[in-house]
Structure formats: structure tokens, C-alpha cells
Structure 1
Amino acid sequence: MVAQSPLQGLKKAALDKAKGLASKENLNKATTLLLNDLDKTRAQFDSTDFDYSIIVTDNSGLFDVKEKGERNAKLITSANLYNKFMQNDELTEIEKARAHLEFGEIFYAQNKYTTAENRFTSARELFESGSGTDDIGYLKTIANQGLLYATMGRFTQAETYTAEALDLRKTKLGETNAGVAASYNNYAVLRYNLGKYNEAEKDIEQALAILTQNNLKDAMQYAIALNNLAMLKQTIGRFDDAIKDLKEVLSISEKLQSSKSKNHLKFVSNLALLYQQTGKYPEAEALYLSAQSRISKTSPDYAALLNNLALLYRAMGQDEKVEDPLVKALAIYKSNVGDESPVYAKTLNDLGNFYRSKERYAEAEPLLTKALSIREKALGTTHPLYAQSQEDLAIHYWKKGEIDKAYTLYKVVMDQSLEFINQYFPPMSEAEKTKYWDVLSPRFQRFYNFANASAATNKEVVKDLYDYHIATKALLLSSTNKIKQSIIASKDAVLITDYFKWLDQKETLARYYAYTKEELKEQKINLDSTERAANTLEKRISERSKDFSAGFSNQKITHAQLSTLLNDQEAIVEIVRVRIYNQSFTDQVAYLALVLTRGAKEPVLITLNNGNQLETRYAKYYRNTIQQKQPDNVSYEQYWSKIEPALAGKKILYLSLDGAYNQLNLNTLKKADGDYLVKKYEMILLGNSKDLIAIKSRKASTPKKNAFLIGFPDYGGPELTSLPGTKTELDGINKMLKLNGYQVIQFTQKEASEKNLKNIKAPELLHIATHGYFLQDVEGKDDAYGISAENALENPLLRSGLMLAGASKTVSGASAPSLESNDNGVLTAYEAMNLNLEGTQLIILSACETGLGDVKNGEGVYGLQRAFLVAGADALIMSLWKVDDAATQLLMTNFYTNWIKLRDKQKAFKQAQLQLMTKYKEPYYWGAFIMIGN
């Protein structure tokens, strides 16, 4: 049983007594008793007992901290009692106002929204006419109006009342009053419904902070606000964090109420949704079915559960279980909230999508159209759910064969999606951006499928395909670099201090990642809280980096702009990896090549449909022939033969690669009866073809002529093979650079340490000659070269790195992790991101497999390559496979000789490869290294 509040008991006793009284005199006495007692208790009780709006699986509704809807419904047993009560002539206006408020809340909890609206309106009018605007009930009336209109989908009115309630509560109750927390929470839910996710998150965090100040971390109010934060995180893809928050919510809820309570069931349903979205289908189904039998079959909560259960069965491939629950959910929503509500539109849209997937187009179209219309009226045309409806209808027209209708809708959707990035990205940390992009990027993938399918009849869509792709390719890397650059250039002392404080926090995290969860527990270290602190500081920094906030929308580059930068001998080749979408995504992959030349009206589109084979069979074949130094008569045909006809007469290619193309060196491909591509083209690798703008606009500058060389480390044990060739390599480079006026710092043997590398300050040139590594899989291992395997498993930047002095003890496990120092001889890519390399022209990673990592669709390689680019390097030279020591030494010597003479690192690098070919014919020797960047 849940204990009644003092207020609840008083109301019930008085009303029960009133029901048995016949005379007007006795009714007046009971009424006076009730209202006097209410007046006495409100000052101490109402400041913390406010109704809280809750996000329930994408739907917003009233949520009562005392479950008023369950227990107070019985208080109104007849309309006759209500009418007698309200018509009592001896009630003052303030007393009537309070009564209207109380009954309005009860009607609201019973989903009788129109009646509740009338009661709240009457309450407000009576408070105002009776000079009761200082009464705490007046504040609650306004707050309730905001909640009611939000529930009804009338968001413009809701925002007016919610903002007013928040301002009044802050003024009358104080900034830290728990009632203010309620208004922050409710405003957060409203903003969530309006698609204002950044503002919503701030409001919820403000509510949680106030509740914590008021020692309410174990109260239902806190659980509700934390639930709302979890569901906001769910919407923007931060699923793991959301699950953690919801588990805490359920722990609080179970202590306060039974696990069968209505409140608890809402939280359980939300957790089930998160399990569903993270692929834990059996766990999700078990929670839904458990909750199903304990929720009223006519309530909106039951409709929400049916809707999510239907989508779960869709994801599980049990399509026969999908239609019926969606139809039932629609009927429940219609009877409770009407057929113009956003929640009704969601179910309508889901059912329309299901019919479309089954090619039941005649049934799907009216549902999808109606859902779009409802969302336009309720949410507006810039809301994420409106964009989702537009896309769903566009896909419907596409699959139905009405390409022109589909294209018109899709064009609007994609432009709006770019605006979402511009809107939501600025205050997010990189981890949060990554998760939000994971939510949004499937839309771009679906559009690429649509563009490819309709390109034969619609040339405009090919232009859009190119433009949208370059707008978002390497988006995460680009945003990180922009923020860093804007901070450094800001001259804002506080911002710069916070930035370096954040770097220190990441260094601390790098130490913590060496420990298992059990070891951290023994050391009394909370890894989660440390990560949260770093994340919070990063968000604060990002939000204050105004240059980035304005940067994205101001830099919409198009194919037409890039085309004008090319000369007649140049071309851009943009590779796009596309996951095939039929009525849903499949496990098949295609690659698109977009070739852009000077004066072209649109890019040339080439489709390679054998994407799965390019990533498996042919990738393995390419690597094997390289390693075995055998002729390769297959790779050219598979990866390049279809693209080459579009490059007739071109000599210089700007290549922006994706997917499997990141794991091979195109220079090493050749026709069976022809020569290697390195002799035919000058290939320049870019992260995104719009980087060409920076290349073409770059003016000649005076080189800093300082270099940092590090290599030939003393590994300190037999676990790592010594590399004497690297000593010869570094000494030769050192001598050559000094003869040409360079200031050179060189560290070898014991001085080739992680500590010395971390202390560098943006040299023009950084050359590292040592062992590199990338661990593809650490499943089942305890340790990943000094990093706990359970931490490394989730982050490829913890699975790649460089071996430096003393690394053998770390590799062997003989060296225990230290909380005092990060100098364990292994520089992970995660640590490399923090190096001070802003302004460094070139980094040469003269080590094995430094170009490898996890290939993330559209983002490039997550490993050392990404780390050094994030750290600020303009360009990198790195290897794709284990390199021959003597060949590498000669390649580097040739490169530096050429670079000093030509002052063009791209030409110097190609010439060095051609020179090496005269001695070593096979690509194994001269093709291991690639250069990427500006």
C-alpha cells in the first residue's frame, strides 16, 4: 500500500462526509471544513507536491507524484455531488478557485481533458478576480494549464503557460524551491515535444540540481525528472546512458511504491523501449508482456505499450503480430485524446509504414498523409517528427513508383536534417555528437538509396546526393577540429583554461582505462562519474565555441563550387558506401563513385553493386597478393575499372574514400596488361572532397623549419623486436634536415618515451619510427597492451597505438597500471588525440599498420589516423601493412630529399614511391605507405 498524504486524507474525509449530508447547512459546514484544512496544509505541502510531466516512450502526459489519477478518481462519485459542491453560495471566490483547481486535476488524471480545461480556466479567473494571485494554488493552476495543453498537443498555448508558471514560481518561491524544479521539469518535457533537445536537457539538469539541493534524490520527483532525462538521451541515441539512468529510476520507484504501481509500470515500459532499440529483443518483450496485464486496457499508457510492442515484433520479424496492436492503439488514443493528437499521429504513422512495407500502398497513403497533417498542425514544420513523417511519405511514393512526388518531399527533408545538425551539434560533446549522428545518419543512407534508384531519370538528385554527402562526410572529425581551432583562436582565457582542464581529465581517463571494473572498485574510483565530468566540461566548452555554432550553416559547399576549382586535368572522386534499403535496411552493401570534373553540370554517378564482396572476398585477395608479392589481376577490375572511363584525360585525382577503399592503396592497382595507377595519376587523398577549397586557397608560407624525430626505442624486453633500421633512418633524416636549416629535436632509445612525445609543441614536422599496432578484436582477452580489454572493446582508439620506450613490460603484463603516470611506453590513439599538433604540417608514422583502425561509414578510420588529425596535423603519411625495414628507410630518405627540394609534400611523396619502384618492383615494398590530408 502507498501511504496517503495529509492533503489526500483531508480531502477524502471531507468529501465522504459531504456525500451523506442532505441539508445545505451541513454541506456548507463540510465545504468550509475541507477548504480551511486545504488552506492550512498547502503552504507546507504544495511547495513540493506538484504534478510532474513525464516522457513516456516518446509521448508526454501528466504524471502525479502521488498517483492522483489512480486514487482520486473515486472521490467524484457523481456529477450531482460535484454540482452541489461548486454551487455552494457561501464559498468565497478563492475557495471556489481552489475547488475548481482540485477537481480540474482529478478530471485531468481521468483523461477528461476538456472538462479539466474548463475547471482550470475557471480557477484562474476566480483567483484573479478574488485577488488571489499570491495564493500558491494560483501558481499551480497556471502550471497545470501548461501541462494540460502539452498533453493535448496544443504546444503554443502550453509554452505560454509553462513559461509563466516557471517565472512566477522563481519570483514567489525562490530559485531553489522544489516547485521551481517541477516547472523546469515540465518545461523540459514541453521543449522535448517541440524538438528543442538542447534546451530540454538544460532544463532537466536544472530540475535535478534543485531536487538534489532539497534532499529529494530518493523522491518520486527526482525519479520522474531522471526518467525524462533518460528518454531525451534515448531520442538522440545515447542509449547506454539512458539505460543506466532508468535503472536508477526503477530503484527509486520500487522503494517508494510497489512494482505494480502505475508509476513504476511507466518506467518499466520506457526501459523496455530502450532494450528494444539496443537489440535486446527478448528482454524488451518480457518487460512489455509483464506490464501489459497490469495497465488499464483503455488508457493511453496501454496504447503506448501496444504501439511499442508492435514495433518490437516488426524488428523481430514477427510481422503477423504487428497490425492488430497498432489498430487497437489507434482506437484507444482516439477515445482518450482525439484523432488530432501527436500521439495518435505516431501510431497512425507506424501503421502506415507497416502497410507500406507490405506493399499495401492504398492503405498506407491515407494514414501517412493524415499523420503528416496532424504533426504539421500540432508540432510545426521544423519539428523532427514532422520531418520523419515527410520522409516516410517520400519513401512511400518512391516505392510506389511516384518518383517526382518522392523527390519533392525528400529535398525538404534532407535540407531540414542539415538544419538539425546545425541546431543540435554545437553544445554536444564528441561522444554525444557521435550518438546523435548514429540516429540521424540512416536517413542520409536511405536518401542515397533513393538517389541511386532514381538517378537515371532525375539528374538533379545526383547533385543532391553529392552535396548532402560532402555536407556530412567526416562530420564528427570536422566539428571536433572546428571547436579546437575556435578555442585556440578565441583569446578567451577562461575558455582556454577549461579546454586544457578537459585535456587533463582525458589524461586521467586514459590512466583509468588501464583498470578493470573490479580494480577500479578496489581503488574507489568511479569511472562513470569521471567520464560524466569530462563530458560535461566538454559540452560547456563546445557551447561557448561560438565560431563553430555559426560555422556549419555558413559553409554549405556544393558540387558547383568545387567544379570551378578544378582545371582540365583534375577530377574529384568521392566514394560513398551505401547500405542497401528495400522496404527496410538489408545486410547488402553497394559503393557509389561520384566523379566531378571542371564545368560538369552534375557529377557522374557510377554504381558498384558488389559491395559485400569488395569488403570481404576481394579485400582479402588484395591483401594476400600484396603480402605474398604475387601479381594481382583482380583488384583493378573490381575496385577501379568502372570508375576509370569517367576520368579520361585526367592526371590529378582528389580522392575522398569510404568503407573498404580506406584499406587499400589505389596506386597499387593495375590492369592485367597495363601499368600501376601510380604511374598514371597523381592521387591526393582527402577526408572530404570539400577540403579542396582549403588546398586551393592556401598561400605559400614560410616554413617554421623545426622538426621532432622520435624512434628506435629501447622497449625494455624481448616481447618487442628491436628495429635498428629506424636508428639509421632517423640519423639520416636528422642530418639532412639540419643541413637545410632545420632545428631538430631527436629522441631515441630510453629517451624515445611517451612522456617526451606528449611534451611536444606543434613542430612543423613530426616523424615517429617504431612499432605500431591495431587490435581488431580483444574479445576474451584481459588486457589490450596496457588497457583493460572491457574498455578497449568499445573504443577503437584504445585498440590502436604506438610502442615507445619501456613498452615491453606493458605488452607482457609485467608492468602494473599506475594512477600517477601515463608513461607506460604505449601511446594509444586515444592519448594521441590530446597531443599539441595544431599547425603541424606533416606527421610521418614510419611504423607498421599505422593506417589501420575501425572503418566507420562516412567517417573514415578510427585509429591513429583519426587521432593525429584531431590533434591538429595537416597531413599524415602512414602504412597499411607491415613494412620492410630497408625499403622504408630508403623511401623516407628519398621523400625528405624531394621535399626539401620541391617544398611540395604530395609531389615529393609520389616521386619517392616511383624512385623506390626502380629497386623494389612489388607493391609490398613501395605501396605500404599512403598520405592523407592537406
Structure 2
Amino acid sequence: MGTDHTQQQRAGGLAKVTAVQLQKHSQHLVIMMKGLVTSAAAALLLAAGKLAEPAWGNYAAEQRLVDTTVQKVEPLFQLQQAINEKELGPEHPITATSLNNLAELYRLQGLYAKAEPLYQRALAISEKVLGPEHPSTAASLNNLALLYRDQGLYAMAVPLSKRVLAINEKALGQEHPTTATSLRNLAGLYHKQGLYAKVEPLYQRALAIDEKVLGPKHPSTATSLNGLAELYRFQGLYAKAEPLYQRALDIYEKELGPKHPNTSTIFNNLAELYRLQGLYAKAEPLYQRALAIHEKVLGPEHPSTAASLNYLAEFYDDQGIYSKAEPLYLRALLINEKALGLEHSTTANSLNNLALLYNKQGLYAKAEPLYLRALLINEKVLGSEHSTIANSLSNLALLYANQGLYVKAEPLLRRGLAMQVILIQREAPYLPISERLSFLQTFSNTYIAAFSYAQRGNSGANLALFSRLNRQGLLQEIEQRQAQIDSLPGPQQAFAGELRTVSQQVASMAHSPEQRQQLESRQEELEKQLYRLLPQLQPRVVEVQQVAAALPAGSALIEFQRYELFDGTKARGQNWGEDCYLALVLKPDGTITPIDLGLAKPIDDLIQSALDASEQKQADALELWAQVGRSVLDPLSAATHGVDTLFISPDGELNRVPFAALPAPGSSQLLSEELQLRLLTTGRELLDLQNTSSVKTSPALVVANPAFDRKPITVQSPRLAISSQQRSGDLGSRRWAPLPGTATEGATIAQLTGGRLLAGEQASAASIQQQQQAPRLLHLATHAYFQPDLPAAERMEDQPLRSNVQEPTALGGENPLLRSGIVLAGANQPDADPADDGYLTALEVARLNWKGTELVVVSACESGKGDIQAGEGVYGLKRAIAVAGARSSLLSLWKVDDRATAAFMESFYSKLKAGVGRADALAATQQEFRQSNNATWRHPYVWAAFQLSGDWGAVRW
């Protein structure tokens, strides 16, 4: 008995030493899930007294000792635990430590069921004996969170990680390295859940702590850099991700060595970034290096090795080299099933990738069970709303659609599309506006594929329209909703005000490209800070029947869609065909008629020819528009028969079409003569336009005849000048010429509307921006401009010439809202007033509060032009005016004549004042000009230039 007792004392002493040493080197255990299994083994050996202080990083040697070490250390830890419970009691802190140690050993072996109750006991002891806010309690919470993370149980891990962070911030301080680790852990969990808006501030805080406390070259700094880069890669922000990856790689290579598992992880991440951009030559050697390191250092059956195999397989898969991809996918799947379990999200990813490979090859019977398994796992692990689940649903749906099983495909596609719409509305609002399109592109293009199935019966047509109604103009709607919130009282007001100031500085013509780049960075940071203060937008998914119910009797909605033809039965790289146009006609009773309009290019070419003829006042302009009508409206004749009102939501180049100049479907009469015409960005607007605004507004504001030279303009022969003057958006002229016709127009419109007139030097951008209340109606009669983007090489060639021109310079490659705007007082001397350069860009317009404004009219050349973005419409003044909150806008599609436009506007406003609705007033004015005694005014160049979008009803005076 005595001998046994002595042995127990010695074992107990060794166990206590083991606990102290294991606690000291616990960081080497924690990082096991990042691939450093062998460092954990070294820590165990040290704790067991088998090694002196090791030179951490001899991975290959340590790996060979793992199996035997675990066998030797596990009984020691179990003995330690038994002794502590007996001698110190079941609720002693040292007992809790030994429980944690034993649980950690089980976690490292993947024995999660054995580890969890031990972690739970250790946590309960710490909370009871040391208190809920003690660092040891935080350590127990962290261990349990890591256990759940390892199993993919992110929803269970997050609340624990949040508690850990709160404790460490309070006990250790806001700038402690352990606090930084807690921030990274929580950020990683949010990333796994797809909650990207919560990730960035956590990684940024961790990075700031690491750089300040540990230094810019510390491995922990590299870890934070990698986490932040991963976030940006998943958001599609590749240009922001790459330099962070490169910094992290440089640190790891220097501090840990080129063959360290952390280094190889960066190889994989950077290679993925290149693959997603199609830079295969840069990606492949990085994939190969990462795989070689993981196989040698961590072993052929490690999860990190599986990750490398999967990445390399995707690389071959992308290029259609299926024979190389399949065995790699299969190896990765087997490793993940064995190492992580059958229900881990990483296992689901392997299943999904392998299924995709089979689907592309038409091996549907092999793909389906893999897709189904992946979907079940993801729904269980990731919850109800995650981009991975949306992709799983879409993949499975396309599998069925490729086999003609549309009844099975349609509900899955609908669920996937609805989930995407919700996720976009959840995450995009927290991104700077300039990054939102890139984020949209990270989602699968299933919503485009849905249009290829529009002819597959009622369900196919319904799905296509569901896709269009929910995705078209979604980012514009998000901006509109946020703009309405940030104008309300609250802490966001300070950020919103500073953001408006910075946006004005960004738009200033006086700044160099370098200065503008710095200001844009500040603008993006302010946007992120502002959007984090705003309440979360409530996502909405619009059903087709809701829009149908909003249609008046006797009307129809036409949703045009430009889309890339999809054929899922063909191999990757061959399954996307040429661009086509589709028309989806919706009636109030919910009936949907899909009409295939054929290839997009011939239609686009016709539109361009008609635009050129209209702007150049050619005699055949109306006939060319008739040809456009025969291509896009005549096929709709049967579907629109008996309709007296058409709501049209255009897409692609159809955004440039003056629909009033097209003949009605199957008729020789013009559309605006036979039917009531209403233009919308999306049919979804019908739901919002039903709500009237209760916002208090000021009287109408009329801005006309700006003094471009900041001095009164004297015109000796107004009649002669007016007849030849265009309200030109031509940015090739060195100076903006005066527009005498706008003086008469402004005075007339101000009198008709009872509005305030700003003319001459008062007709400035600053005057518009400083309005305290939104005007009930805003009329701007001046020059406008839109500068198309140019390839980088052409921008460089043009720059010397452009630097001498008083115009928006160096805007190639810029935000299209910076390349579009209104020319106002002082524009010919933009440097004269630092606070007002004479331009009101679309970007500045989007920052204004015009909520409650009934109508904005920009009586100028090309005010309706802009960049056309798939799914988002026209990026220019039209979008900016809508974002600012105005219910409707009247803008021009091409250059317009000064005198004719003044007469046109006088007639239009006379009808508005008489109570005629906006759309009907426009149609009547257009008909009046078509029948004019003035032959010039009868040309579509004059009467078809202006197009109304948005609310078509009467102005509430």
C-alpha cells in the first residue's frame, strides 16, 4: 500500500508539473485547427517530460511522434485528473485546469464527444469558484468555443466567443494580444456564418492591436492580415485582398519559414484569389507548393492537405480538366469524412464540388446523392440563411432542370434565389457603395440562368419573373432606403453630414487624381461608419402576385431582360451562349407571358442606328425607331391585346429607347398615341409608388441660365444664338457656352409653378446643396454631361489634352456617378471658389435629401445617359435622383436644342399645372410637337428626347 501511495504522490507531482507546463504552452495546442497538429504534439511531449524546450517548427520529426505521444500522455492526464479531484476536490481551479488539459487532448484527436463534458465541467468550476469574468473562465469558454468551431457548430460557438472577448477586454485591456486573438476567433466564426458585415471591424481591431503591440512583422499580425484578406476575397474585393495576402506571406516566410503550414495556407489563399480572376498561370505553382508542404509536414490525411487537394481540383475543374480534378476531389472527401466527420461543413463542401464535377459531365445519377447530402449537412450546420445553402439549392435545382425535371427544379431555384436576395439585402448595406457591385458578383448567376427556363411552362415563366422582380435595381433600392434613414435625427447625422462634404470634395474638378483617390478612401470609410450606425434594413422578397395585384385594370407590365443564354447540359465553358432579350408580360390577373425576342446584338445595333439618326436629325429616324418597335414590341402584340396602359421596365440598351417614338404592338400608331405609357426601373416600384409621401417640402425650385463665367452674360442677338445652341453635353469644348433660351424657360416655369428662380451667379451647385427642405418640384435648365468610360490606355493618351479643358477631367475609370452631372454657375473657372467648382455631379445629387420631391426635370443634353450595368439599370443622373428620394424624373436621351426645349417645357408644365398626370402631360406635349407647324419640331430629335421615369400621376401642388 505504501509503495502505491508513493507512486501516486510522484505521479501527482508530475501531473501538477504537467499542468503548469501545458498551461504555459497551451497556445501550441490551440493552433492545432490551423494545421499545426505537430506543434501540439511537441507541447504534449514537453508536458510529459519527454522533451526539453523544443525549437518549435520541427514538424516532420514531431509528426512521427504524435501517435506514440498520445498513447503515453493520455494515461498521465487521466491520472492527473483523478489525483486532483481526490486531493484538491472536484471544484478546485487546478482540477478545472486538468479537466481542460484532458479535454484538449481529446479535441486534438477529434474525440469531440469525450472532450465536451470535460470542458463543460471545467467551465462550471471556473464560473463558480473564480467568477464569470475571470481570465480562467474566459480560457474555458474559449476552449469550448473552439470545440464547437471544430465541429462546424458555429451558432453554438459564437455566444461563447463573444463572452470570451468581453472578459478579456475588461480583464486584460482593449489592446492586449489575447484580446486580439479573441477578436480574430469571433471574426472567424462570423465569417463561417456568412455574416460579413460583422467580420471586418473585428479583424481591423485585431490587426491594429497586433501591429501596435507585437509589431508589423509578427506572425499574429500576419494571421490578422490573412483573415481580413479572406473576407475581402469572399466579398469579391480582389484588389483589396491581394496586398494583404502578400504582406502576410512575407511575414510568414521570414518568421516561420517557407515550409511552415501557415505559409502554405497563404499560398492556397493567394492562388484562390488568382483562380477567381482567371489568372491560372499565377495560381498553379502556388497550389502545388501548398500541397507539397501539407503532405510532407502534416501528412497525407490531414484536413489541411484535403484543403490543398480541393483547391487544386477546383483549379483543374475550372479549366475543364476533369480527369485531373476527380481523383483530387475524391481524396479530399475521404480525408474530410475521416478527420472531420460525415456532417461537417467542410465535408459538405467536398461533396458539393464532386457533385458539380459530375453534373458538368452529365453524370447526373452520381451527382444527385452528393448534392442532397451536401444540402442536408449545410442546412443542419449553417442554419436557414447562408450563401452556401443558396448555392446548394441552386446546384441541385440546375441538376434537375438539366434533366428536364422542372417540377423538381423550380421550388429549389426559387428558394435559392429568395435566399440570395435576402443575403444581399442583409450584407450589401454595410459595404461602401463602390464595392457593392463586386459583392453581387460573388453570388452564383442562377438568377440569370432562370431566364433560360422562362419558356418551360407556367412555373418557368413565374420563376423568371420572380428573379427579375427581386434582383433588378436591388442595389438602387438599398441606397434609397438607407438615404431615407440617414436623413432622420440621430447619431448618424454627423457622419452623413461629413460624408456629404467629402463627396463634394471627391467630385471637385480642382483635385488631382491622387487627391481624389485619398478622398475616395475617406469617403468609403465614412460610408462604412455611417452604415454601421443605421438600423438593419428589413429584407423583403417580392412575389409575382403582389406586383400583379398592384397593376390597374386594363394594364400590363413588361419586364425586359437582357441575359446570357444558359444550357446546363453542356460542359463548363460551353454552357453559356450569346446574349438575348426576353420580355415577360404580366397581367393584373397574374397571367405571365414570356416572349423570346432573340439575340441582343441585332436589337442593340438597331437602337444605336436610331439614336444616331435622331441626334443627327436624319429624315429616316422615325422609321429606324419603327424597326426597333417591330423587333421588341410587335412580338408582344397578342400578350398585350386589349391593354390600355403599359408599364415598361427596360434592360440593357433598351434603357436608351424613347418608347414614345415606337409604334404600338401590331399597330401603325405610335405607342404614346394608342396607349398610356409608364416607365419604371423595376415592376417592384409599383408597390412603393402606392405610398404617398407625407414629408414637408418647400415650393418649386427653378434653376436656369447659370453664369458659367461667374459674371452676367450679355447676348446681343438672343434669337440667333438660341436657334443654333444646344444644351450640349459635349465635353470636348473648352468652355461652356451660355444658354439664353434657359433664361426665358426659367422665368416661365417659375411663374407657372409659383416657384423660386435661381439664375445667373445664383444658379450654383452650392445653392442647390444648401436647400434646407426638399423642393416639391425641381427644374434645372442648363448644360448636362455624361463622360463614357475609356480604356486605361486611351485615358492616358487623352490626359495631356484634357488637362487644358474646363470640364470634369481624369474621370476615366471613375465611378459613373462622377462622370455624369449638371453644369452650373462658375463652371468655366472651377478653381475660383474652393467650395463650389460649378458642377453638381450625380454622386453629389445622390447625397442630397429630395425625399418628398414630386418631380426632378433636368432640361439639358443627355441628362438621362449613364453607364448601363446588368441588373441595375443606368448609373447616372437618373439613378442619383431616385436615390436622393425623388418620386420621378424627366431626363433627355440625347442632345437637345435650346429654343425648342424651352417651348417644350413651357407646354409640359402648363399641362402639369392644369392637373394632368406627369406621363399624360408628356404624351400630350409630344403629340403637340409632332403636329406642330414648325417642321423642325416635328422631328423625333425634338419631341422624343425627354423620357419620364417613376411616378406617372399628377403633381400634388
* Structure 1 counterpart SS, 2:442: helix
State the alpha-carbon separation in 2 of the partners of residues 621 and 278 from structure 1.
35
State the alpha-carbon separation in 2 of the partners of residues 70 and 200 from structure 1.
34
Residue equivalent to 1:81: 72
Where does the alignment leave 5 or more consecutive residues of structure 2 unmatched?
44-54, 86-92, 711-730, 952-957
Residue equivalent to 1:759: 770
* Structure 2 counterpart SS, 1:295: helix
* 1:207-222 equivalence runs, <5 A: 207-208=206-207, 210-211=209-210, 214-215=213-214, 218-222=217-221
* 1:199-210 equivalence runs, <5 A: 199-208=198-207, 210=209
Residue equivalent to 1:180: 179
- The alpha-carbon deviation at position 639 of structure 1 amounts to 1.7
Amino acid across the alignment from 2:677: M
Q: Is the 8 A contact 2:559 2:649 kept in 1?
A: yes
State the alpha-carbon separation in 2 of the partners of residues 838 and 154 from structure 1.
45
- The alpha-carbon deviation at position 221 of structure 1 amounts to 2.6
Judging changes above 3 Å, is the alpha-carbon distance between structure 1 residues 563 and 536 closer, same or farther for their aligned structure 2 residues?
closer
Judging changes above 3 Å, is the alpha-carbon distance between structure 1 residues 244 and 648 closer, same or farther for their aligned structure 2 residues?
same
Query: Which of 293, 306, 328 matches 1:325?
Result: 328
Judging changes above 3 Å, is the alpha-carbon distance between structure 1 residues 681 and 730 closer, same or farther for their aligned structure 2 residues?
farther
Q: Is the 8 A contact 1:516 1:788 kept in 2?
A: no
TM-score between both structures, scaled by the size of structure 2: 0.81
Pairs aligned (count): 872
Residue equivalent to 1:594: 584
Query: Which of 509, 512, 515 matches 1:515?
Result: 512
* Structure 2 counterpart SS, 1:747: strand
Residue equivalent to 1:491: 489
* Structure 1 counterpart SS, 2:443: helix
- The Cα RMSD (Å) is 4.0
Residue equivalent to 2:816: 796
Q: Is the 8 A contact 1:28 1:88 kept in 2?
A: no
Query: Which of 907, 916, 924 matches 2:941?
Result: 924
- The alpha-carbon deviation at position 734 of structure 1 amounts to 0.8
Residue equivalent to 1:643: 636
- The alpha-carbon deviation at position 917 of structure 1 amounts to 1.3
Residue 442, structure 1, aligned to residue 445, structure 2? yes
- Give per-residue Cα distances to partners, 1:145-197, cap 9 Å, x unaligned: 32233223244554465455445545654555432332332233223323333
State the alpha-carbon separation in 1 of the partners of residues 694 and 527 from structure 2.
39
Judging changes above 3 Å, is the alpha-carbon distance between structure 1 residues 563 and 160 closer, same or farther for their aligned structure 2 residues?
closer
Residue equivalent to 2:685: 691
Residue equivalent to 2:479: 480
* 1:4-23 equivalence runs, <5 A: none
Residue 711, structure 1, aligned to residue 705, structure 2? yes
Judging changes above 3 Å, is the alpha-carbon distance between structure 1 residues 822 and 399 closer, same or farther for their aligned structure 2 residues?
farther
Q: Is the 8 A contact 1:890 1:916 kept in 2?
A: no
Q: Is the 8 A contact 1:31 1:85 kept in 2?
A: no
Q: Is the 8 A contact 1:50 1:140 kept in 2?
A: no
Judging changes above 3 Å, is the alpha-carbon distance between structure 1 residues 640 and 75 closer, same or farther for their aligned structure 2 residues?
same
Residue equivalent to 1:778: 790
State the alpha-carbon separation in 2 of the partners of residues 414 and 55 from structure 1.
34
Q: Is the 8 A contact 1:786 1:826 kept in 2?
A: no
* Structure 2 counterpart SS, 1:340: coil
State the alpha-carbon separation in 1 of the partners of residues 667 and 380 from structure 2.
65
State the alpha-carbon separation in 1 of the partners of residues 554 and 667 from structure 2.
24
Judging changes above 3 Å, is the alpha-carbon distance between structure 1 residues 368 and 763 closer, same or farther for their aligned structure 2 residues?
same
State the alpha-carbon separation in 1 of the partners of residues 513 and 591 from structure 2.
53
- The alpha-carbon deviation at position 399 of structure 1 amounts to 0.5
Residue equivalent to 1:290: 289
Amino acid across the alignment from 2:545: A
State the alpha-carbon separation in 1 of the partners of residues 99 and 547 from structure 2.
66
* Structure 1 counterpart SS, 2:948: strand
Residue 619, structure 1, aligned to residue 601, structure 2? no
Residue equivalent to 1:886: 899
State the alpha-carbon separation in 2 of the partners of residues 701 and 163 from structure 1.
41
State the alpha-carbon separation in 2 of the partners of residues 39 and 746 from structure 1.
80
- The alpha-carbon deviation at position 913 of structure 1 amounts to 1.3
Amino acid across the alignment from 1:582: D
- More deviation in 393-402 or 883-892? 883-892
Residue 900, structure 1, aligned to residue 913, structure 2? yes
- The alpha-carbon deviation at position 868 of structure 1 amounts to 2.0
Where does the alignment leave 5 or more consecutive residues of structure 1 unmatched?
1-22
Judging changes above 3 Å, is the alpha-carbon distance between structure 1 residues 528 and 148 closer, same or farther for their aligned structure 2 residues?
farther
Residue equivalent to 1:12: none
Q: Is the 8 A contact 1:463 1:602 kept in 2?
A: no
Residue equivalent to 1:580: 565
Q: Is the 8 A contact 1:655 1:685 kept in 2?
A: yes
Amino acid across the alignment from 1:184: L
Judging changes above 3 Å, is the alpha-carbon distance between structure 1 residues 198 and 79 closer, same or farther for their aligned structure 2 residues?
closer
Residue 862, structure 1, aligned to residue 847, structure 2? no
Q: Is the 8 A contact 1:847 1:879 kept in 2?
A: yes
Query: Which of 538, 542, 551 matches 2:530?
Result: 538
TM-score between both structures, scaled by the size of structure 1: 0.83
* Structure 2 counterpart SS, 1:931: strand
* 1:209-608 equivalence runs, <5 A: 210-211=209-210, 214-215=213-214, 218-296=217-295, 297-440=300-443, 442-450=445-453, 452-454=454-456, 456=457, 459-488=458-487, 490-492=488-490, 494-511=491-508, 514-517=511-514, 526=518, 529-541=521-533, 544-545=534-535, 549-550=537-538, 552-553=539-540, 556-583=541-568, 586-598=576-588, 600-608=589-597
Judging changes above 3 Å, is the alpha-carbon distance between structure 1 residues 931 and 342 closer, same or farther for their aligned structure 2 residues?
same
- More deviation in 31-40 or 158-167? 31-40
Amino acid across the alignment from 1:614: I
Residue equivalent to 1:8: none
Residue equivalent to 1:6: none
Amino acid across the alignment from 1:343: T
Judging changes above 3 Å, is the alpha-carbon distance between structure 1 residues 512 and 198 closer, same or farther for their aligned structure 2 residues?
farther
Judging changes above 3 Å, is the alpha-carbon distance between structure 1 residues 314 and 880 closer, same or farther for their aligned structure 2 residues?
farther
- The alpha-carbon deviation at position 923 of structure 1 amounts to 1.5
State the alpha-carbon separation in 1 of the partners of residues 396 and 329 from structure 2.
18
* Structure 1 counterpart SS, 2:507: helix
- More deviation in 179-188 or 344-353? 179-188
Amino acid across the alignment from 1:883: V
- The alpha-carbon deviation at position 803 of structure 1 amounts to 3.1
Amino acid across the alignment from 1:323: E
State the alpha-carbon separation in 2 of the partners of residues 41 and 338 from structure 1.
28
- More deviation in 846-855 or 290-299? 290-299
- The alpha-carbon deviation at position 867 of structure 1 amounts to 1.6
State the alpha-carbon separation in 1 of the partners of residues 519 and 291 from structure 2.
37
- Give per-residue Cα distances to partners, 1:825-860, cap 9 Å, x unaligned: 333322232234333322222222221111112211
Q: Is the 8 A contact 2:238 2:273 kept in 1?
A: yes
- The alpha-carbon deviation at position 642 of structure 1 amounts to 0.7
Amino acid across the alignment from 2:776: E
Q: Is the 8 A contact 1:729 1:892 kept in 2?
A: no
Amino acid across the alignment from 1:304: A
- More deviation in 251-260 or 714-723? 714-723
- The alpha-carbon deviation at position 266 of structure 1 amounts to 0.8
State the alpha-carbon separation in 1 of the partners of residues 190 and 347 from structure 2.
19
Amino acid across the alignment from 2:606: Y
* Structure 2 counterpart SS, 1:642: helix
Residue equivalent to 1:11: none
Residue equivalent to 2:718: none
Q: Is the 8 A contact 2:309 2:329 kept in 1?
A: yes
* 1:626-665 equivalence runs, <5 A: 626=614, 627=616, 628-630=618-620, 631-632=623-624, 633-665=626-658
State the alpha-carbon separation in 1 of the partners of residues 695 and 506 from structure 2.
38
Residue 915, structure 1, aligned to residue 928, structure 2? yes
Residue 832, structure 1, aligned to residue 845, structure 2? yes
Residue 668, structure 1, aligned to residue 661, structure 2? yes
Residue equivalent to 2:90: none
